[in-house]
């Protein structure tokens, strides 16, 4: 049936990825739905179709080819696409998301086949609501929106950044079971300042410089207002905005609508969960740590803010908690009295002499944890890592910059240069490393552990705001999913193949804190989990 209740049949069924089962249509369906003759005669089960697709998938020679292959499948047969993703999650996440999605965004115009999601451009000012009403689904639960200005660590990719909302929403479906028809990717095309794209005759976006100031704000505001009337139940996730807009827009809208910023708050929760796991390995407490960040942008201050919230929850006064977090930006150590500090850094500008480089900051501050969110590759040098190992028995080293080419160090470098002492997590996946016969399994501080569960919890609780407490409880719930066996291998996060269970655990914790009535808190854990499982989309025929 289509949305008007009209029965769809024949070729129309085959060409709609939501209804298409391809060779999976049964004998009865082929007769009843006028499909006889439109398909080869043999009927295949979903499992058999999956096997065929996996053979072809593994024959693709590059990760980008695999990405294109999966995109084509998503355009053809949505159920099969999600079945494959769910059954081979560890293999698929690096293809549909980081690191491959970075390459896919760079080549977005070249690999473009069929439009997916909604494009709202600066030319549409004044009629954004009309565009939203063109979207074929009404019951949208999650919107992921970007303006393409800071795509991963790759910078301004303009409209090519649409690969990110598309990938993130596929993850909402795979990891937390949010039905695909309830997910809406949005590109706010406000132009691009990327000269290469502006010169490219095949670029798909507006070939103009970015709009800014009140013109930009008014377009974003019109979009937000339109979502409230067209999709009033939707959770809005801001994604990959440049930090000046990311922080500002979050501040502007967080108390007005149901929204969050994944680069700030999702990253913070996943990093905090990794720190909780690391303290179990170290047998220390959160309040025993001193954090030094390389990078002082939205990810760094987002993580620092949540660490402060978490330390305060453990009894440390806020001022002391803030003094446990130090930032190094492109100029050097962020200290009190430094000229023209951006407002988001001020809370972390402490009394200290200015130091111009990371190594001097490590030697002077003696951090227990080094967190890389600078987008600058190879900045955790051998000297820096050796200094961390000299100061700490088990230094925490998180090199979170994405994609892999931007990582502050590799897992191998972190383990080797600290003589296997480091407790490591990367932003992208790294293979296990063996040093002197001991094998380390690097963690991946992937936001996918957090945002799908947060989305599901918000959707299920009907909450209208996403508070800091949501991310604190999500981080705790994620950390609780890490077993002692995982920790013994150096893993700070649970294996990705348990992601649906992880998302359910995150979502139940979110439901409890997000529900203002306090009603859900009183329900037994098992009942909450059952409710969430009943909501989850399962790709099957």
Question: Binding of ligand NAD at residue 375 (CB under 6 A)?
Answer: yes
Which residue of 376, 381, 464, 497 would you call a contact of ligand NAD, by CB under 6 A? 376
Binding mask 289-308 for ligand NAD (x = CB under 6 A): -----xxxxxxx--------
Q: In the complex with ligand NAD, which residue's Cβ is closer, 20 or 447?
A: 447
Query: Which of these ranges, 115-123, 231-239, 252-260, 395-403, lies near ligand NAD under the rule CB under 6 A?
Result: 395-403
| Residue nearest ligand NAD by beta-carbon distance | 297
Place of tokens 């700070």: 492
CB 386 within 8 A of CB 395: no
Q: Quick one: tokens of 2? A: 């289509």
Rounded Cα distance, 331 and 361, in Å? 12
Rounded Cα distance, 36 and 40, in Å? 9
Question: Binding of ligand NAD at residue 374 (CB under 6 A)?
Answer: yes
**Least Å distance between CB 276 and ligand NAD?**
15
Say whether 238 sits in a helix, a strand or coil: strand
Inter-CA distances, 451 with 168, 223, 441, 462, Å: 9, 22, 23, 16
214, burial (CB in 10 Å: exposed 0-12, middle 13-18, buried 19+)? exposed
Q: What is the DSSP string of 263-294?
A: IIIIHHHHHHHHHHHHHHHHT--GGG--EEEE
Give yes or no: 415 in active site: no
Q: What is the DSSP string of 12-39?
A: HHHH-TTT--GGG--HHHHHHTT-TTSS
Question: Binding of ligand NAD at residue 401 (CB under 6 A)?
Answer: yes
Query: Which of these ranges, 183-191, 222-230, 251-259, 328-336, lies near ligand NAD under the rule CB under 6 A?
Result: 328-336
Q: In the complex with ligand NAD, which residue's Cβ is closer, 156 or 515?
A: 156
Task: Give the interface size with ligand NAD as a residue count (CB under 6 A).
Answer: 28
**Least Å distance between CB 317 and ligand NAD?**
27
**Least Å distance between CB 324 and ligand NAD?**
19
Q: In the complex with ligand NAD, which residue's Cβ is closer, 14 or 152?
A: 152
Rounded Cα distance, 336 and 116, in Å? 47
Q: In the complex with ligand NAD, which residue's Cβ is closer, 194 or 267?
A: 267
Give yes or no: 66 in active site: no
Inter-CA distances, 33 with 2, 3, 8, 13, 539, Å: 14, 17, 8, 8, 21
Q: Please give the backbone phi and psi of residue 443, each rounded to the nearest 5 degrees, phi first.
A: -80, 155
Q: In the complex with ligand NAD, which residue's Cβ is closer, 258 or 270?
A: 270
Q: Quick one: tokens of 522? A: 């009183």
CB 456 within 8 A of CB 177: yes
Binding mask 153-192 for ligand NAD (x = CB under 6 A): x---------------------------------------
Other CB atoms within a 10 A radius of the CB of residue 68 amount to 18
Binding mask 492-531 for ligand NAD (x = CB under 6 A): ----------------------------------------
Interface with ligand NAD in residues 436-455 (CB under 6 A) = 445, 447
Q: Quick one: tokens of 487? A: 């920790």
Active-site option among 21, 66, 106, 168: 168
**Least Å distance between CB 253 and ligand NAD?**
18
Q: Quick one: tokens of 238? A: 């801001």
Rounded Cα distance, 473 and 513, in Å? 8
Strands 118-121 and 183-189, how do they pair? Answer: parallel
Q: In the complex with ligand NAD, which residue's Cβ is closer, 300 or 441?
A: 300
Rounded Cα distance, 157 and 200, in Å? 12
Question: Binding of ligand NAD at residue 106 (CB under 6 A)?
Answer: no
Question: Binding of ligand NAD at residue 150 (CB under 6 A)?
Answer: yes
Query: Which of these ranges, 137-145, 161-169, 224-232, 369-377, lies near ligand NAD under the rule CB under 6 A?
Result: 369-377
Interface with ligand NAD in residues 6-25 (CB under 6 A) = none
Nearest CA to 152 among 112, 100, 196?
A: 100
Which residue of 74, 159, 243, 392 would you call a contact of ligand NAD, by CB under 6 A? 243
Binding mask 414-433 for ligand NAD (x = CB under 6 A): -------------x------
Helix axis angle for 267-282 and 468-480, nearest 10°, is 40
Rounded Cα distance, 249 and 243, in Å? 10
**Least Å distance between CB 97 and ligand NAD?**
11
Rounded Cα distance, 143 and 451, in Å? 12
**Least Å distance between CB 355 and ligand NAD?**
12
Active-site option among 21, 67, 82, 97: 97
Q: In the complex with ligand NAD, which residue's Cβ is closer, 57 or 260?
A: 260
**Least Å distance between CB 153 and ligand NAD?**
3
Which residue of 152, 171, 411, 499 would you call a contact of ligand NAD, by CB under 6 A? 152
Rounded Cα distance, 279 and 271, in Å? 12
Residues marked as catalytic? 97, 168
Q: What are the residues binding ligand NAD (CB under 6 A)? A: 150, 152-153, 243, 263, 267, 270, 294-300, 328-330, 373-376, 400-402, 406, 427, 445, 447
């Amino acid at each position: 049936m289509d949305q008007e209740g009209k029965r769809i049949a024949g070729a129309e069924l085959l060409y709609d990825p939501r209804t298409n089962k391809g060779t999976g249509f049964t004998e009865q369906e082929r007769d009843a739905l006028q499909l006889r003759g439109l398909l080869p005669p043999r009927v295949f089960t979903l499992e058999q179709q999956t096997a065929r697709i996996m053979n072809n998938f593994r024959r693709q020679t590059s990760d980008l080819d695999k990405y294109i292959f999966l995109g084509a499948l998503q355009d053809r047969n949505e159920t099969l696409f999600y079945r494959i993703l769910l059954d081979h999650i560890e293999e698929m996440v690096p293809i549909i998301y980081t690191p491959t999605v970075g390459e896919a965004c760079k080549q977005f115009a070249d690999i473009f086949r069929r439009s997916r999601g909604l494009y709202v451009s600066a030319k549409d000012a004044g009629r954004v609501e009309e565009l939203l009403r063109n979207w074929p689904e009404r019951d949208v639960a999650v919107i992921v929106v970007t303006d393409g200005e800071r795509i991963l660590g790759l910078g301004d990719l303009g409209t090519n950044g649409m690969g990110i909302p598309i990938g993130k929403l596929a993850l909402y479906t795979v990891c937390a079971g949010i039905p695909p028809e309830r997910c809406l990717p949005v590109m706010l095309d406000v132009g691009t300042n990327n000269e290469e794209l502006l010169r490219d005759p095949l670029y798909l976006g507006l070939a103009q410089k970015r709009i800014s100031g009140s013109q930009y704000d008014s377009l974003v505001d019109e979009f937000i207002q339109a979502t409230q009337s067209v999709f009033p139940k939707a959770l809005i996730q801001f994604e990959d905005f440049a930090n000046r807009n990311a922080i500002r827009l979050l501040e502007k809208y967080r108390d007005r609508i149901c929204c969050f910023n994944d680069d700030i708050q999702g990253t913070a929760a996943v990093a905090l969960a990794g720190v909780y796991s690391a303290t179990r390995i170290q047998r220390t407490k959160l309040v025993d740590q001193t954090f030094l960040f390389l990078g002082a942008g939205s990810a760094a201050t987002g993580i620092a803010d949540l660490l402060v919230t978490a330390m305060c929850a453990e009894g440390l006064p806020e001022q002391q908690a803030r003094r446990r977090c130090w930032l190094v930006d492109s100029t050097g150590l962020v200290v009190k009295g430094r000229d023209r500090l951006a407002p988001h850094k001020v809370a972390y500008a402490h009394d200290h002499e200015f130091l111009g480089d990371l190594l001097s900051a490590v030697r002077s501050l003696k951090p227990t944890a080094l967190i890389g969110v600078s987008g600058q590759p190879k900045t955790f040098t051998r000297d820096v890592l050796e200094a961390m190992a000299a100061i700490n028995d088990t230094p925490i080293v998180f090199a979170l910059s994405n994609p892999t080419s931007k990582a502050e160090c590799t897992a191998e470098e972190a383990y080797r240069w600290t003589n296997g002492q480091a407790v490591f997590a990367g932003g992208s996946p790294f293979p296990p490393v063996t040093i002197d016969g001991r094998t380390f399994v690097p963690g991946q501080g992937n936001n996918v552990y957090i945002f799908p569960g947060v989305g599901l919890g918000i959707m299920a609780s009907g909450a209208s705001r996403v508070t800091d407490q949501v991310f604190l409880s999500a981080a705790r719930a994620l950390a609780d999913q890490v077993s002692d066996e995982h920790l013994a291998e150096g893993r700070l996060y649970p294996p990705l193949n348990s992601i649906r269970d992880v998302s359910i655990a995150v979502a139940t914790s979110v439901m409890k804190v997000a529900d203002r009535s306090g009603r859900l808190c009183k329900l037994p854990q098992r009942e909450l989990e059952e409710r969430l499982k009943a909501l989850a989309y399962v790709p099957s025929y």
